[in-house]
A = this chain, B = another copy of it.
Amino acid sequence: MNSRKKTVSQTSVHAMVESIVGCKWSLHVLAQIRAGINRPGALERTADGLTQKVLSERLNKFLRFGILEKHSYPEVPPRVEYAFTPFGRKFLKLLDEVEELQRELG
């Protein structure tokens, strides 16, 4: 948690917004996880053109930003799921408001 904060504090909130609003795959992946699709394989199948490489880059960015956390379950085969952190849920609301104001500009 503390290490998360340390990591996240290296990126400012407005730089996070910039990095995500400007990236269609970032927005797509966040929308899918928000809709409950939270496993890498399932996420990869949500869009043609979304490669495993691009997906894991985006997921790692969200982990670095402290927006997502990764849960690994010791099963066979191992199960991995991503979930929003409390900060991530607030950040999503911020993104919604940015999009709402953007629409207002027409």
Contacts and interface: CB of A to CB of B under 8 A. Distances in A.
Interface of A: 5, 8-9, 12-15, 17-18, 21-22, 66, 87, 90-91, 93-94, 97-98, 101-102, 104-106
Contacts of A104: 87, 90
B105 A9 contact: yes
Counting every copy of the chain, the complex holds: 2
A52 to B, nearest CB: 28
B9 A106 contact: yes
B21 A14 contact: yes
Given A21-B12, A94-B94, A87 B106 contact: no
Given A14-B14, A97-B97, 8 more contacts: A5-B106, A8-B105, A9-B105, A12-B102, A13-B102, A14-B17, A91-B101, A94-B98
